[in-house]
Structure 1
């Protein structure tokens, strides 16, 4: 099999196993991957690693949005981004884009976001989505005419990516919970689109002494607005434990093994690696039937609701309480589902896509 070189742009955080797992398994198919640190002039990395066969784009927003939300600076950055994409095509380098999101989560400069996405679609040789629903959404939103260049590659699991040695009773004792408590978990970066505010309001209405809600994660960009909102909603709140700050990799097992069910109260979503994380730890889930979630989860392992149902989250949380005796079995079912999304399988499909572009 011929050796290939691919450049991943942008580089994900080292704490996120997604790229690490994909890179390690692509190596089994004679594909060398370089990860790009410079989100602005990534063409310099392409030149310094001459000549790559593939430039594989992942999250686009770091490549054209500026942290200050300055529209003029973002516009200039976007123009430079598109010029670099065009140069890649002129140089004969193949472009692959994995569509993790249809737009940036903070809804900043959405028209600019759309222009950059349209440009990548136009000049890319292949587009990857994580499920059939996402493929259809990409086709509809961006009016893609050449549907044959869109491929479905599932999101890989996180089995064995994190330590998982803590017993449930030990994890609960560490967090101050009783064995009889029913524990809901919200884990990860706290951002508006994830719907934490709605989750807190809904949990308060459950009015059950045996229920607990754990919120563990860092507030995105240390948003003062979000800090004040949480402080207001959690004032005098019963049975809600907020553990703010970044969750180290070795602590994920603590929260996952202490809980009964993981809640994903998203306002909008296309693909969720966090759902695969919960499934990999063998946890039941509550989530909207939106994007890839409805393809990855099923009713045997999750309580799913329609995202436009205002009472959907409340109904599913109440159902989880009613069926709390089944939560462990549901989690085991999810673990079995997650096992089929192993990274060698993901890399094999990606390898086939790469080589079809050449």
Structure 2
């Protein structure tokens, strides 16, 4: 059986690589009938492959200097031209519903062209809407149980609330701090830890300023090693992720993989997750997060703790490689017919 040759838009894993990407790469490398190429500009422009699998195309255009960015933009244009002329299939994993905002004009256009050339999309949850005239396959975002298996857990700190992950404005950390500070009078025993890297220095300073008056707040900014992430999550009684918009959340799956309950905004994605993992693991709130949501969720958790581990068997990585290979083969068939 001839193997399908697939190039991924990510290179070799580093300590800072998203664990989802690392685990996906390992799964694909161990999948029969598939030959995996990891990204380099030389491989993308010169190697022979049947499918290009994109995750975040805009990441390929990042550069520290203007001339580096310009060079990558030119290389990306050549890559898209090669893909079109050679009828190479393009597979996109839909990590976000919308194209990234705030990109310079040329970069935005290149990402848009890439999106328009997509042969098949991989959705990470069942609520991802299909794009017109583009095939779509569902492959659930994998869990992190295996990834964290060898890392030591910390004892839970009663009353500890935690936020973990990359800190961006839409993730609602400032509001979380404001809500938490309102619990001081009736729940002085509670504590809040915020662990992650702010997207901008301005956001970091805003959060520091908001947290400065409450000694129950603990901030840990910067790159978070996996062992530190496990410590922050397992010390928590409840992980709170008050995103203004949530479609796929690796942070929620990380907490559940470490058997820590999560408080999330109510939407269709999170309602399905709550049903999937079982009672006592996912708490949902409506509208903006409030102090009452924090207090009532903790009270409900203590009164009705989960009686079994969260159900994450549908997210095992053992099947991910096969499902991706089958999606790549379908995309190749579609591309060759065009």
Where on the TM-score scale, by shorter chain, does this alignment land: which range? 0.7 to 0.9
Distance 2:266 2:309 in 1: 18
Structure 1 unmatched runs, 5+: none
From 123, 131, 145, give the equivalent of 1:129: 123
Superposed, 1:52-63 pairs within 5 Å as 52-63=49-60
Summarize the Cα distance change of 1:4–1:230 in structure 2 as closer, same or farther, 3 Å threshold. same
Superposed, 1:292-307 pairs within 5 Å as 292-298=269-275, 300=279, 301-306=281-286
From 178, 182, 198, give the equivalent of 1:219: 198
TM-score scaled by structure 1? Answer: 0.79
User: Offset at 1:327?
Assistant: 6.8
Summarize the Cα distance change of 1:327–1:255 in structure 2 as closer, same or farther, 3 Å threshold. farther
Match of 1:97 in 2: 92
Distance 1:265 1:13 in 2: 29
For these two proteins, the number of residue pairs brought into alignment is 324
2:32 matches 1:29? yes
Superposed, 1:133-152 pairs within 5 Å as 133-134=127-128, 136=129, 139=130, 144-147=131-134, 149-152=135-138
Match of 2:319 in 1: 345
From 3, 16, 27, give the equivalent of 2:18: 16
Summarize the Cα distance change of 1:279–1:91 in structure 2 as closer, same or farther, 3 Å threshold. same
Distance 2:272 2:78 in 1: 36
| Highest RCO, 1 vs 2 (Cα 8 Å, sep ≥ 6) | 2
Summarize the Cα distance change of 1:356–1:108 in structure 2 as closer, same or farther, 3 Å threshold. same
Match of 2:266 in 1: 289
Contact 1:6 1:52 in 2 (8 A): yes
Superposed, 1:201-240 pairs within 5 Å as 201-207=178-184, 208-220=187-199, 223-240=200-217
Helix, strand or coil for the counterpart of 1:161?
Answer: helix
Superposed, 1:1-358 pairs within 5 Å as 1-11=1-11, 14=15, 15-26=17-28, 27-37=30-40, 42=41, 44-48=42-46, 50-64=47-61, 81-103=76-98, 107-109=101-103, 115-134=109-128, 136=129, 139=130, 144-147=131-134, 149-163=135-149, 166=152, 168-169=154-155, 177=157, 181-207=158-184, 208-220=187-199, 223-290=200-267, 292-298=269-275, 300=279, 301-306=281-286, 309-310=287-288, 312-326=289-303, 328-329=305-306, 332-334=308-310, 336=311, 338-358=312-332
Contact 1:65 1:74 in 2 (8 A): yes
- Higher helix content, 1 or 2: 1
User: Offset at 1:124?
Assistant: 1.8
Distance 1:316 1:164 in 2: 34
Summarize the Cα distance change of 1:163–1:342 in structure 2 as closer, same or farther, 3 Å threshold. closer
Contact 2:153 2:230 in 1 (8 A): no
TM-score scaled by structure 2? Answer: 0.84
Summarize the Cα distance change of 1:237–1:314 in structure 2 as closer, same or farther, 3 Å threshold. same
C-alpha distance after superposition, 1:309-332 (max 9, x if no partner): 13x4544312212213157517x4
Distance 1:350 1:60 in 2: 18
Structure 2 unmatched runs, 5+: 333-338
